[in-house]
Amino acid sequence: MSELEDRIHTVEGENHLHLAESEDHLHSGEAENRINVIDDRVRPAVDIVSLYPRDMNIYGDTGNVLVVAKRLWLYGYQPVVHYVNQGDAWPEHVDIILGGGGQDSGQKKIQDDLMARAPQLRQMADEGVPMLVICGLYQLFGNFFRTIDGDEIPGIGIFDAETLGKTARLIGNLVASSDYGTLVGYENHSGQTFLHGQTKALGRVTSGEGNNAEDETEGAQKNNVIGTYMHGSVLPKNPKLADFLVMKAVEHRYGSFTNLADSSMQAELEKLDECARQASQVAQHRPR
């Protein structure tokens, strides 16, 4: 906590001006050098793991990494991204984990590596590290995936959930109500997920299918780990969900979240949220 307070003090003190200046230069092309000069001194670092970007990263799920990094930046923190593929070393600090969807072949390629990392991931989930896993990786965060041929792919059991392969694909716009407001996204999956026990749903489907074609649940949440079938990407149009993850990441690192944004950063956050609100309004009323 004291580390963060020190840094906040610095931000509010003499360096504040420089920070605002660096914002003005963000888009001018020469921004990179400036940002680094400021960052090293004042911005508290937050470490993001982009999990399996090579094989589990379809339908624009990279957008979630960009949204978390940008929002951390605008809240006054220094995002650090670690791209972790199979066999890569785990970074020293991990404050948030983001993983995307993948095809059959992608799931197969990461299978062994994911099982090897399972104890560590489960422990981090228990410690409150926020995670966001989409579609294919969400399925593998459950207990198992039983394919249509009856093969059982083991999951890492963070969610008490099972996924069953079905013939029909669930494809289309998806809307769900949740603690993070109305969530909008796009689903595209043939595995159907059923939740059990302590794992609660992320939201209740108001349009589309979500976890499965039977109950009206969408996604899952346990501690600060969120699983969802929403592509879109999901975070840009659902900034409340993005901020939940961002704040939990800062809390994990520094004990509590403090908004370090100056007025220009705050204005940019508000602009992003207004765009997202308009985009969400449209998305909620589009055909399946």
Residue numbers at the binding site for other proteins (CB under 8 A) = 26-27, 29, 31-32, 35-36, 39, 53-54, 58-63, 65-67, 69-70, 73, 78-81, 83, 103-105, 107, 136, 139, 145, 147-148, 165, 167, 169, 171-173, 186, 188-191, 231-233, 236-237, 271-272, 275-276, 278-279, 281-283, 286-288
Rounded distance between C-alpha atoms, residue 34 and residue 90, angstroms:
29
What tokens were used for 68?
A: 């978390």
Q: How many CA atoms lie within 13 A of 120 on its CB side?
A: 12
Is 99 or 125 the residue whose CB approaches other proteins more closely?
Answer: 99
Shortest Cβ distance from residue 123 to other proteins (Å)? 26
DSSP symbols for 41-91: HHPPEEEEEEESTTTS--TTTHHHHHHHHHHHHHTT-EEEEEEE-TTPPPP
What tokens were used for 213?
A: 């074609």
Annotated binding site for substrate: 169
Is 139 or 212 the residue whose CB approaches other proteins more closely?
Answer: 139
Q: Which pairing describes strands 131-134 and 96-99: parallel, antiparallel, or unpaired?
A: parallel
Rg (CA), the chain: 19
Residue 37: strand, helix, or coil: helix
Shortest Cβ distance from residue 210 to other proteins (Å)? 16
Is 59 or 180 the residue whose CB approaches other proteins more closely?
Answer: 59
Annotated binding site: 169
Catalytic residue annotation? 135, 231
Is 66 or 118 the residue whose CB approaches other proteins more closely?
Answer: 66
Which residues, other chains included, contact 221 with Cβ-Cβ below 8 Å and sequence gap of 6+? 199, 200, 201, 202, 227
Shortest Cβ distance from residue 119 to other proteins (Å)? 25
284 — alpha (psi -120 to 50), left (phi > 0) or beta? alpha
Shortest Cβ distance from residue 16 to other proteins (Å)? 20
